[in-house]
Structure 1
Amino acid sequence: MAAAAAQPRRSPVPVVGTIAIVAGLIGVVVVLGIVWSETSAASTFVAFLAALVPLSVVMAAVLWLDRWEPEPRRLLLLTFLWGAGVSTASALGINTFLARAIHSASGDPGVTQLLAAVAVAPVVEETLKGAGLLGLFLLSRRLFDGAVDGVVYAATIAAGFAFTENVLYFARGEMAAALGQVFFARAVVSPFAHIIFTTCMGLAIGLASVRARRVTVALLVFPLGWLAAVGLHALWNVTSFLGEAFLLGYLVLQVPIFLAFLALGLWLRRQERRMLAARLGDYLQQGWFAPHEVAMLTSLRRRADALRWAGRYGVRAKDAMAQFQRNATRIALLRNRAVHGRAPADMEARERRLLASLSENRRAFAAAFAR
């Protein structure tokens, strides 16, 4: 088939990835078990279903951002489980331990609650989420072709964390006959809160990955993203102590932050499209693409139209078109890395394989079309 000559984006070391997935699943089970023991089986089940609502909204936004070059599903599962299991279970234990230590030292429940929410939780939770993102980057740097990749992986970790945390809060709310209020506060008012925090780290490491030749640059930039994540997280938690002024704080502080996050997503999508147009334009000048192909490849709507059109000629034609689109995106990203001084050692060999695959894609589609 057409994709045989092209090498797909590889996931991290299989053993490490499998261990991370298993650890994530165990973490989810542990947290759900704790929720069950604190509330009831019925409350846990209802909370689990309720938590799926904001999760579906958040993941739809993440996948929308990731449409140009979708990340491997296995890695999205891995990062989701890191957030939902490893990060959440670890944070639950560490936060509880530190909160008890603060209470023992201060003896004041109010001080304990404030410090636990503003000083402890943001640091602990963003550190745990960031550890998964940083580990993925160090294990498989070649997966990070730009800011979008960093944002997508960071947002998926955060989505997993928010999902499990929502199960905990929804179950407690259901037991207290206040599920509606808790659901409104977390699923309607702030479904993207954790995503916004953790995305700061993803943006930092994503930008550094494509702009810097040395991995040490990304490691130096990452703490800046962590500081931003912790700061925004702490700021959000502070608003929960404003009482009647919460709405004002939400409108003045959180709404502008969300709008900025939305604008960032739109900008990243636009930048990725411009990058594809520029890099595919390089190959257009060399005769590897026709103008109508570049026009199709740089428009998500035209890509979808091309797939539907190819589907009229059978499964093989549609598969060939899908592979053609993926390989064209891969070669554009490969060229972009070279433009920014990050060409891999096997750049020429990989470029030849992708160009050969693109030619094979065309032949496969032509053969299906001729039938």
Structure 2
Amino acid sequence: METSGILASIVISFTSALLFAYLLHWFDRYEKEPFILLAGVFLWGAVVAAGGAFIVNTVLGLGLFVVTGSEAASNLVTTSLTAPFIEEILKGFAVLMVFFAFRNQFDSLLDGILYAGVAALGFAATENAYYIYAYGFAEYGWAGFWELARIRILLVGWQHPFYTAFFGIGLAASRLNRSLFVKITAPIAGLAIAIFAHSLHNTIASFLPGTALIPLSAVLDWVGWFAMLIFILIAMALENREIKTYLADEVALDTLTEAQYQNAIAATRVNRQRAKALFTGHYQPVNRFYRTAARLAIKKKLLARVGEEKGNAQKVEKLREETKQLSQALLK
């Protein structure tokens, strides 16, 4: 029974986290991020961030108990102050590594949200598995298992991605701005908001007796998540407008045809072209063409916003030539 409870907790936690990660990935409609990077930040969240947070929070909690002699005070300080600080830094470090080591992949607000959200979902998968088993199955059997799974996955399943997304947004704002002030302060502000939102949730939850008022806490969480969803939809609309703007003059340059341009600027049409290509055996070249065209538009946006950096103009020319070759190959 113990083994089945452990396995079930792991399976339901990681399966749900991966499904949530797939949903986040779906929002990135035009230039999909590399699977290896997304897998890397997910594993960082699940292993390094979750494991590190457990160790640090446990040590700090014991230290606070020794100093105060009060378990209640120790739990409150750990839950409301130290845990949000430690966890958001450890989760955010995965996003920071992508930001510095794979800078070319970090070029939109959606990218910041995606990498931050996936790292946080890895963290949540491990944390949920622990909570569902330790406080659900181990104490109340399968009834406890399903109750904790409902709470941790359905009611508050998006809490960690929501918090860490603010840091991702801060890094993206830094990436897309010429101002040194914004480049420095945006990530700091994003991390501060992530820690504050996390702390606020934990503090409210700490003062709710038992599980009776958990739905009230969940409602507050869902209001925040809905606001973040609206922000994501706005970011998607802005990205679509940027694709239209920065690809428009490529038709006159013979980089792509008017018909290809009209398809490239609408995600639904791109997906329709990919679906057709599945039945004609041309999926790979079609998929590569539309992704390259999107990368061209986004790189042109970066060149316009932040300047040359490390060869943006050269990268634009390279992507333009690659897009043109792919376009002509599809017309044959």
| Counterpart residue type for residue 115 of structure 1 | V
| Counterpart residue type for residue 366 of structure 1 | L
Q: Does 1:170 align with 2:135?
A: no
Of residues 222-231 and 339-348 in structure 1, the stretch that sits farther from structure 2 once superposed is 339-348
Q: 1:159 to 1:248 in 2, by over 3 A?
A: closer
TM-score (norm 2): 0.92
Query: Which of 60, 67, 73 is the equivalent residue of 2:35?
Result: 73
8 A contact 2:255–2:321 mirrored in 1: no
Query: Which of 197, 201, 210 is the equivalent residue of 2:167?
Result: 201
Displaced runs of 4+ in structure 1, greater than 4 A?
A: none
Structure 2: runs of 5 or more not aligned: none
| Counterpart residue type for residue 351 of structure 1 | V
Query: Which of 225, 231, 239 is the equivalent residue of 1:258?
Result: 225
Query: Which of 102, 107, 120 is the equivalent residue of 2:69?
Result: 107
Map 1:28-67 to 2 at 5 A: 40-67=2-29
**Structure 1 counterpart of 2:250:** 283
Cα deviation, residue 360, structure 1: 2.0
Cα deviation, residue 110, structure 1: 1.3
Cα deviation, residue 288, structure 1: 2.8
Cα deviation, residue 303, structure 1: 0.7
**Structure 1 counterpart of 2:183:** 218
2:176 counterpart SS class: helix
Counterparts of 2:197 and 2:95, CA distance in 1: 18
Counterparts of 1:347 and 1:194, CA distance in 2: 34
Counterparts of 1:338 and 1:269, CA distance in 2: 20
8 A contact 1:145–1:206 mirrored in 2: yes
Q: 1:81 to 1:56 in 2, by over 3 A?
A: closer
Cα deviation, residue 52, structure 1: 2.9
* RMSD (CA atoms): 1.9
Cα deviation, residue 113, structure 1: 1.4
Query: Which of 247, 252, 256 is the equivalent residue of 2:215?
Result: 247
> Cα deviation per residue 1:51-108 (whole Å; 9 max; x = unaligned)?
1343133112211112211111110111111101110111010000000011111111
Q: Does 1:192 align with 2:155?
A: no
Counterparts of 2:279 and 2:294, CA distance in 1: 23
**Structure 2 counterpart of 1:157:** 119
| Counterpart residue type for residue 127 of structure 1 | I
Q: 1:153 to 1:342 in 2, by over 3 A?
A: farther
Counterparts of 1:135 and 1:107, CA distance in 2: 39
Q: Does 1:307 align with 2:274?
A: yes
1:284 counterpart SS class: coil
1:176 counterpart SS class: helix
Structure 1: runs of 5 or more not aligned: 1-38
8 A contact 1:327–1:354 mirrored in 2: yes
| Counterpart residue type for residue 175 of structure 1 | A
| Counterpart residue type for residue 182 of structure 1 | L
8 A contact 1:236–1:254 mirrored in 2: yes
**Structure 2 counterpart of 1:362:** 327
2:255 counterpart SS class: coil
Of residues 39-48 and 175-184 in structure 1, the stretch that sits farther from structure 2 once superposed is 39-48
Counterparts of 2:171 and 2:41, CA distance in 1: 15
Counterparts of 2:37 and 2:137, CA distance in 1: 33
Counterparts of 2:297 and 2:57, CA distance in 1: 44
Q: Does 1:179 align with 2:141?
A: no
Map 1:73-92 to 2 at 5 A: 73-92=35-54
Counterparts of 1:97 and 1:64, CA distance in 2: 39
Percent identity between the two aligned chains: 23
